[in-house]
Amino acid sequence: MADKIWVYIDQFNGEAIPSSWEAIGAARVLADQFSGGVTALVAGEQVKGAAELAVQYGADQVYFCDDATLKDFRAEPYASLLSGLAKEHQPEVILFPTTSRGRELAAMVAVDLKTGVLPDVTALEVQDGSVIATRPVYGGKLLTKAVCSTRPQLITLRVRAFPTPEADSSRTGNLSEVPPAVSEDDIQTKVVGYTESSGRVSLNDAGVIVSGGRGVSNNPVLMPPEDMDENEIEIWRAQQGFKLIGDLAEVLGAAVGASRAAVDAGYVPYDHQVGQTGKVVSPDVYIACGISGAIQHQAGMRTSKVIVAINKDPEAPIFKMARFGVVGDLFEILPHLTEAFKNRLSS
Amino acid sequence: MDFALTDEHRMVQHMVKGFAQKEVAPIIKEYDRKQAMAPFVLPRMGELGILGICLPVRYGGQGMDYIALGLACEELEAVDSTLRVVMSVHVGLNSLALLQWGTEEQKEQFLVPQARGEKIACFGLTEPGAGSDVAAMDSTARLSGDKYIINGEKMWISLATVADHALIVARTNPDASDPHDGLSAFMVELDRPGVSCGDIHGKLGVRAGSTGWLAFQNVEIPRQNLIGEEGEGFKIAMSCLDNGRYTVAAGATGLIRASLESSVKYAGERRAFGREIGKFQLVQQKIAYMVQSFEAAQLLYLRAGWMKNQGVRNTRETSLAKWFATDASFDAASEAIQIHGAYGYSDEYDVERYLRNAKGAILYEGTSEIHQLMQAGFALGYRDDVPLRCELPPFDLDAWRSE
Amino acid sequence: MKIIVCVKQVPDTAAKVVVENGQVTWGDTPLVINPWDEYAVETALLQQEAHGGDVTVISFGGEEAKEALKHALAMGCGNAILVSEPELGNADSLVTSHVLAAAIQKIGDVDLVFFGRQAIDGDVGVTAAQTARVLGWPAYTLVSAISELDPGNGSIRVERSVEEGRQVVEGKLPAVVSVVKDIGDPRYPSFMGIRKASRAEIPIWSVTELGAEVSEPVVTWPEITNPPKQEVVTEIVSGDSSKEIAESLAGKIIEEKVL
């Protein structure tokens, strides 16, 4: 009998996005309650490796489509493929990681299948044959338990909200290759390329984030070069400060985040912004440096597992949510912290 | 009686608040410390149309009513008093005087560019030796052929060093039996030969603004620059103050609100003796009084604005609104500092700036004492308003918005 | 060029939103136009300024949504339409996307439809993609820049903000575009815009009139709660020197087994 619980494995350039494994983990828990196994879906180019990994992480059946038309994610052909498979096999639930691709894909599949999508979910439970998804709303101020009355229930899981299962290389499963659903001529868009290198850790996936706020530009000790005007000096100071943040991030394999104040001031691009109008992140460790912790920023990182705050103002609201706090000069603390981690983590 | 603001009023509030909060709030502390005006403020306010907000479209303005002017001032001063001071002198004291007393030629020449923000306007009444005692002023304007020749010095003039036009009051008739009747009002282009100006620093507050002095040495202005008739200067100045005071009242209301909002926020965050300090009754009392004065101040200025819209004389009501709001804003700021404790004493928080700014408003546009005398005068029947030869035009939506 | 912007009226982000007696409430803080939608309006206006045409702003909601529409009109949109159906109650994104698609088709000859990336009440963020799917048009979501637009040729090139960086995509029009903050700060409504908006008569289209294929919402929120108070025990790490504090902090973080 076909599995009732499906998982979409998100990938980029053939490599699976790690949060897909969290989704398989969550799927396994659901599958137990629906008496069946877990089916994974992966599409792209050269994705057989990802398909095999999916089995190791807990999939029993994997449908994969390996095609040049799917090399770059485009919602139209991916959605048509997934919708077609779902119509054929009638799953109860399809889980997706909440990446830019996962959300868009779930959205379009929902239209195809005339069903509902519950995005950015932080917890799942089953009641009377329905999955109840807990999701934050109003910028995280409230929690809802949402349900979808139709099938399949399409659910995207917040990244890092669910545990990563252990990979078991001895696990076996069934891999089935399927053809694409749409030909290139019928696809209305083309991905031309990328304008930034994908070298740095993305905020979404990062297990550790080191974030800088406006306070990062305030190092009184620094002497700026002579020929700069005030605006340039401020940016220069900020860049020096963010360099310290970057050094720590590098040692920890972390992503660099920023508060809205730092982005608005022009210290870092918007891509780094954590907060209600930036990215909502849920890393294991969030180290906030020179960030006061205003409500809008809190909305973006409040579900981080361990929050560390470094700020010279003991009254900064961030300390109320921090597991560990240091009231002190971040320009002195950060280099020592980087050194301390370098020594301990390399051993 | 409809107390509701219109959709339009709310959109105006939202827009001015957006400008003030997004563009000025982040940098205001820096300029306050520097005792300088941020160079982008005047051009930006001009560009956005705020400098002509309640002037008819055909005079280069935005065709909004007097209540919109008040609402804008409230939002501006909630960020910093210096923004509202711009409105008080450029719009309240100068531009509205042109609307009320100016000839069509004067409106074309002075009001239109002012409304568009192309020229900046200020008001010169006060002198080193004459504040409350306006009639004691020394500046003179002597008619010579088809020119007036202006001599004298004006002090504590907002925007003195950045303005293009000044509305100056000077003595044309030293022999008048009542010195009040010897004064006349003029528009003076400040680039005329003989005009000099300078900044005044070291003020307790309003530091991110421009306050200075103007000196006139045999400055020649065309006869056509006379506003109204000779001898009407005092009456014109008082009617200017009816409008300037209105903006001060509205602004001070915004200042009370700023103190209130800062205090509420801080009281919710700061903890002492195991709980947030908002739970303590003495803190609550301070906040309660701030709420009371904010709402009363707001109703007083809105009523004055409504009267202006109707074309009804409002000298008494505007004076009452200004007196009440400015005194209250000083108290509110003082209590806000108290709530903030030592942090309130430091310029890292905004409340100490509110206090320093608030004190200025109790002194200018009529000291609180002057207003007390006015109110008592009205109440006791010692004082009454004589209708003016030219009254402030009521708000007329169709007329003000036709091109 | 015919451009549409879809906007939603939501509670202010600064509002204190809580659940009282099982109902969401934000006190008497006013509703505002969804902040992301302001960016969408701005983008639409910029494209109109560059390529000519007109911008119509639409909203699917109740009478109060007229305020969001008026705000967009005051920013410079030429026309506004409210699509309303009081019986529809709490529509989900599937219903909304069908309704919006029907309205867009009724307007006809549309080249571009702009959305903000998500509404800050539901934080769902799928309506743009779903509306595109219903229309059968391409969706360009999370757009941070419109690099090229050729209405004559029916083509567009955009940059999208995705996890791996900025992705460049090109394709056909008509299309649906959802934007992120990087696209550019929204302008203030001008006073002239405010004057126009306040006297605007906004037509109301009913969903039944549109002939939209609409059924009961499939997604519901049977339970809504205030999030549990996270009991965080804050430990302030101290020491005699910055180096000592840093060493101590590093050790404690490692002990939490989160790295």
HEC profile for A170-194? CCCCEEEECCCCCCHHHCCEEEEEE
Residue C74: its chain B contacts at CB < 8 A? Answer: 11, 15
Q: Are residues A260 and A322 in the same domain?
A: yes
Give residue A196's pLDDT.
Answer: 64
Strand runs (DSSP E) across chain A, as ranges? 5-8, 11-12, 15-16, 38-44, 61-66, 93-97, 117-121, 123-127, 130-137, 142-148, 153-157, 174-177, 189-194, 208-212, 255-258, 285-289, 306-311, 324-327
The residue of chain A with its CA nearest to that of B272 is A315
Residue C190: its chain B contacts at CB < 8 A? Answer: 48-49
Q: Are residues A212 and A141 in the same domain?
A: no
CATH of the domain at A51: 3.40.50.620
Number of H helices, E strands in chain B: 15, 10
Cβ <8 Å between C192 and B8: no
Cβ <8 Å between C232 and A333: no
- Assigned domain for C224 exists: no
Q: Are residues A255 and A290 in the same domain?
A: yes
Average pLDDT, rounded, for chain A:
91
Strand runs (DSSP E) across chain C, as ranges? 2-6, 9-11, 18-20, 23-25, 31-33, 54-60, 79-84, 112-116, 139-150, 155-162, 165-172, 175-179, 204-206, 219-225, 235-236
Of B8, B18, B62, the CB nearest to C188: B18
Share of chain C above pLDDT 70, in %: 100
Residue C232: its chain A contacts at CB < 8 A? Answer: 307, 320-323
The residue of chain B with its CA nearest to that of C30 is B10
Residue A90 domain boundaries? 5-186
pLDDT at A199 over 60: no
Cβ <8 Å between A317 and B269: yes
B101 touches chain C (CB under 8 A): no
Cβ <8 Å between B11 and C197: yes
Q: Rounded to whole angstroms, how far apart are CA atoms B195 and B217? A: 6
The residue of chain A with its CA nearest to that of B27 is A265
Q: Which two tokens stand for residue B343?
A: 């942090």
pLDDT at B320 over 50: yes
Q: Are residues A176 and A96 in the same domain?
A: yes
Establish whether B348 is a catalytic residue. no
Q: Are residues A167 and A256 in the same domain?
A: no
Strand runs (DSSP E) across B172-312, as ranges? 183-189, 195-199, 211-222, 226-227, 271-272, 275-276
Q: Given A137, A155, A186, which residue is the final one in a domain?
A: A186
Give residue A277's pLDDT.
Answer: 64
The residue of chain B with its CA nearest to that of C74 is B11
Residue B63: its chain C contacts at CB < 8 A? Answer: 191, 195
- Assigned domain for C121 exists: yes
| Cα torsion through B70, B71, B76, B80, rounded to 10 | 70
Exactly one of B365, B369, B391, B403 is catalytic; which is it?
B365
Give residue A198's pLDDT.
Answer: 45
A294 touches chain B (CB under 8 A): no
Q: Which two tokens stand for residue B89?
A: 């002198």
* The amino acid at B192: R
Q: Which two tokens stand for residue B350?
A: 């905004």
Task: Tell me the shortest Cα–Cα distance from C4 to chain A, in angstroms.
Answer: 20
- String of b and e for A91-120 (b: at least 16 CB within 10 Å)? bbbbbbbbbbbbbbbbbbbbbbbebbbbbb
Interface test with A, best of B30, B34, B262, B269 (most A CBs within 10 A): B269
Of B11, B18, B19, the CB nearest to C194: B11
Look at chain A and report how many structural domains it folds into: 2
Of C138, C182, C252, the CB nearest to A324: C252
Mean pLDDT confidence for B32-49: 96
C60 touches chain A (CB under 8 A): no
pLDDT at A197 over 70: no
Instruction: Report the range of poorest mean pLDDT among B88-97, B105-114, B279-288, C233-242.
Output: C233-242
Share of chain A above pLDDT 70, in %: 97
pLDDT at C205 over 90: yes
pLDDT at B71 over 90: yes
Average pLDDT, rounded, for chain C:
92
* The amino acid at B353: R
Give residue A152's pLDDT.
Answer: 96
Q: How crowded is residue A240: how many other Cβ atoms within 10 Å of its Cβ?
A: 16
A296 touches chain B (CB under 8 A): no
Share of chain B above pLDDT 90, in %: 94
Only one residue has tokens 């398989």, namely: A24
Max intra-chain CA distance, chain A: 74
Give residue C213's pLDDT.
Answer: 73
Task: Tell me the shortest Cα–Cα distance from C24 to chain B, in angstroms.
Answer: 22
Mutual angle of helices B315-340 and B351-363, in 10-degree steps: 150
Give residue A347's pLDDT.
Answer: 54
A308 touches chain C (CB under 8 A): yes
Render pLDDT for B258-290 as a digit per residue (tens, 0 to 9). 999 999 988 987 889 999 999 999 999 999 999
What is the Cβ-side half-sphere exposure of residue C27, based on CA atoms within 13 angstroms?
A: 8
**Cα A273 to the center of its chain, rounded Å:** 14
Q: Are residues A23 and A59 in the same domain?
A: yes
Q: Are residues A226 and A297 in the same domain?
A: yes
Cβ <8 Å between B343 and A317: no
Beta bridge partners of B186: B168, B226
Mean pLDDT confidence for C195-213: 90
Give residue A1's pLDDT.
Answer: 66
- Assigned domain for A325 exists: yes
Render pLDDT for B326-370 as a digit per residue (tens, 0 to 9). 999 999 999 999 999 998 998 878 999 999 999 999 999 999 999
Give me the residues of A, 98-157, that contact C with CB < 8 A: 99-101, 103-104, 106-108, 110-112, 114-120, 135-150
Residue C12 domain boundaries? 2-210
Neighbours of chain B (3+ CB pairs under 8 A): A, C
Q: How crowded is residue C148: how many other Cβ atoms within 10 Å of its Cβ?
A: 10
Give residue A300's pLDDT.
Answer: 85
Task: Tell me the shortest Cα–Cα distance from A232 to chain C, in angstroms.
Answer: 21
- Assigned domain for A242 exists: yes
Task: Tell me the shortest Cα–Cα distance from C191 to chain B, in angstroms.
Answer: 6
Q: Which two tokens stand for residue A135?
A: 């999701």
A5 touches chain C (CB under 8 A): no
Using a 10 angstrom Cβ sphere, with 0-12 exposed, 13-18 middle and 19 or more buried, the burial of residue B233 is buried
Cβ <8 Å between C198 and B7: yes
Model confidence at A235, in pLDDT bands (50, 70, 90)? confident
Task: Tell me the shortest Cα–Cα distance from A255 to chain B, in angstroms.
Answer: 28
pLDDT at A27 over 70: yes
- Assigned domain for C42 exists: yes
Q: Are residues A215 and A116 in the same domain?
A: no
Q: Are residues A181 and A213 in the same domain?
A: no
Q: Rounded to whole angstroms, how far apart are CA atoms A295 and B364? A: 39
CATH of the domain at C84: 3.40.50.620
Q: Please say whether the beta carbons of A240 and A330 come within 8 A.
A: no
- Assigned domain for A248 exists: yes
* The amino acid at A94: I
Residue A142: its chain C contacts at CB < 8 A? Answer: 17-19, 24, 224-227
Q: Rounded to whole angstroms, how far apart are CA atoms A238 and A228? A: 14
The residue of chain C with its CA nearest to that of B52 is C191
- Assigned domain for C253 exists: no
Q: How crowded is residue B296: how many other Cβ atoms within 10 Å of its Cβ?
A: 15
Give residue B183's pLDDT.
Answer: 98
Residue C191: its chain B contacts at CB < 8 A? Answer: 12, 15, 48-49, 53, 62-64
Task: Tell me the shortest Cα–Cα distance from B269 to chain A, in angstroms.
Answer: 7
Q: Which two tokens stand for residue B150?
A: 């202006």
B44 touches chain C (CB under 8 A): no
A228 touches chain C (CB under 8 A): no
Residue B270: its chain A contacts at CB < 8 A? Answer: 315
Strands C23-25 and C18-20: antiparallel
Q: How crowded is residue C147: how many other Cβ atoms within 10 Å of its Cβ?
A: 14
- Assigned domain for C230 exists: no
Q: Are residues A214 and A272 in the same domain?
A: yes
Number of cross-chain residue pairs from A and B with Cβ atoms under 8 Å apart: 5
State yes or no: cis peptide before C227, omega within 30 of 0.
no
Residue A110: its chain C contacts at CB < 8 A? Answer: 93-94, 126, 130
Q: Which two tokens stand for residue C100?
A: 């919006």
**Which are the contacts of C202, defined by CB distance < 8 A and separation ≥ 6?**
C66, C69, C70, C80, C81, C82
Neighbours of chain C (3+ CB pairs under 8 A): A, B
Of B7, B18, B62, the CB nearest to C191: B62
Number of cross-chain residue pairs from B and C with Cβ atoms under 8 Å apart: 42
A321 touches chain B (CB under 8 A): no
Cβ <8 Å between C188 and B48: yes
Task: Tell me the shortest Cα–Cα distance from B279 to chain A, in angstroms.
Answer: 18
- Assigned domain for A258 exists: yes
Beta bridge partners of B168: B124, B186
- Assigned domain for C241 exists: no
Q: Given A152, A186, A220, which residue is the final one in a domain?
A: A186
Give residue C163's pLDDT.
Answer: 83
Number of cross-chain residue pairs from A and C with Cβ atoms under 8 Å apart: 261
CATH of the domain at A279: 3.40.50.1220
Mean pLDDT confidence for A204-225: 87
Mean pLDDT confidence for B168-180: 97
Q: Are residues A128 and A22 in the same domain?
A: yes
Average pLDDT, rounded, for chain B:
96
Look at chain C and report how many structural domains it folds into: 1
- Assigned domain for C127 exists: yes
- Assigned domain for A303 exists: yes
Q: Are residues A35 and A147 in the same domain?
A: yes
Give residue C256's pLDDT.
Answer: 78
